[in-house]
Amino acid sequence: MSDVGRDKEPTHDTAPAADDGVADAGPTDDEQADDGQAQDAPAARAGARGKVDHGVTPAMEIASAWAWRFLVVVAAVGVIGYAMRYLSEVVVPVTVGILLTALLVPVTKGLQKLRIPRGLAAGVTVIATIIVVAGLLTLVGTQIAGQFEDLSKQVGEGVQKLRDLARINFGLTDSDITNLFKQIQKQITSGGALGQQAAAVGTTATHVVAGLFISLFCLFFFLYQGEQIWAWLVRLFPRRARDKADSSGRRAWVSLTAFVRATVIVAAVDAIGISLGAAILGLPLVSAIGILVFVGAFIPVVGALVSGIVAVLVALVAKGPIIAIVMLAVVIGVQQLEAHVLQPFLMGRAVSVHPLAVILAIATGVVIAGIVGALVAVPTAAVLNAIVNHLAGNDPAPEPPRKRRSAVPVED
């Protein structure tokens, strides 16, 4: 074969020969895997450590993680509480408007069934509410004015009885009691104290009037455009959270309406029962006592206690200790009937709140907004309880799946 033919023969690259004359074919797949694992082992150990070991145990890392998250939650609650207290002149009237809305929505819907437009029905409901409240206040004022002379005489006799009891039981002389009354009178009528009290009363009256107008405006628009307002609020949430926000809000509204209506029925029963007892015993200011009991029933525990004490004091001053004891028995009997029969039957599990939560809610409401805060504290606790149970899947009566309304669109 010539050189030309030899040049045309295919040539192959050959690996360098090994010492024993056999060509090295390179590492096998198993050898490559073992080598890769050997190289990755230090990196894996370094990644498992993640950072320099400071000697902190896993338990301490878990505890510190929970601790700073707890501090963040406490700080957020503190900021919200401070903001609510700072804006209490707006927050409290709006809350009162929501409570009134939960109570008066059936009235507006009933007027709509009579083919009255919703806006006009909401306006009629608000005006009727104002007339009813004004009528009750007028009734109380008229009764107090008509019985003022007799009541003043009875109060004087009651004060004399108290003086006699203090002299007998505590060893006080007439001069000691007279000096005590003079000191109290001097403290009240002193210029600085009187001026400060007048200024405080004027400021409080201004706040009450402003809050009343805010509550009435909120009541009207909640009755008129409640669905549209709620749809707008739901759209403020992220798209993925809108379903939960919508369902939680509606569950909270069901709980709130049940609570308010049950409380109104319980308050009416308390007021009627105690007023009948006062009328049978011949006490003065029967209507005033009934209205006080009705309003006090909206503050669980505290309201019933205060209104009952007032009724017993009126009986003591007007009729003496025997009638006061009978009035006390009437108050206790009515309140026991309300606590053990009406409230469990009307409220049920949907708005059940632990007694400790009730006391803490009332105390918090008093700190934030005084008496009005105490009025709205328990329904607020009931609403939060309903929301938490709903989000946790512990609804006492879960609602069936509901088709989303077009008022709350899913798209951004």
Q: Give mean pLDDT, residues 107-131.
A: 91
Q: Whose CA is closest to 100, among 301, 346, 351, 379? A: 379
Q: Whose CA is closest to 249, among 264, 223, 227, 218? A: 227
pLDDT tens column, 155-176: 666 666 666 666 666 666 667 6
Integer Cα distance of 386 and 391 in angstroms: 9
pLDDT tens column, 27-70: 555 544 455 444 444 554 444 455 566 677 888 889 988 999 99
Q: What is the pLDDT of residue 300?
A: 66
pLDDT tens column, 298-318: 776 667 777 888 888 888 877
Integer Cα distance of 261 and 56 in angstroms: 56
Rg (CA), the chain: 38
pTM of the model: 0.66
| 271 has pLDDT over 90 | no
Confidence of residue 366 (pLDDT cuts 50, 70, 90): confident
C-alpha to C-alpha distances, 313 to 162, 222, 320, 329, nearest whole angstrom:
12, 41, 9, 13
What DSSP string runs through 63-122?
HHHHHHHHHHHHHHHHHHHHHHHHTHHHHHHHHHHHHHHHHHHHHHHHHHHTT--HHHHH
Q: Give mean pLDDT, residues 117-123.
A: 91
| 198 has pLDDT over 70 | no
354 CB-side CA count, 13 A: 5
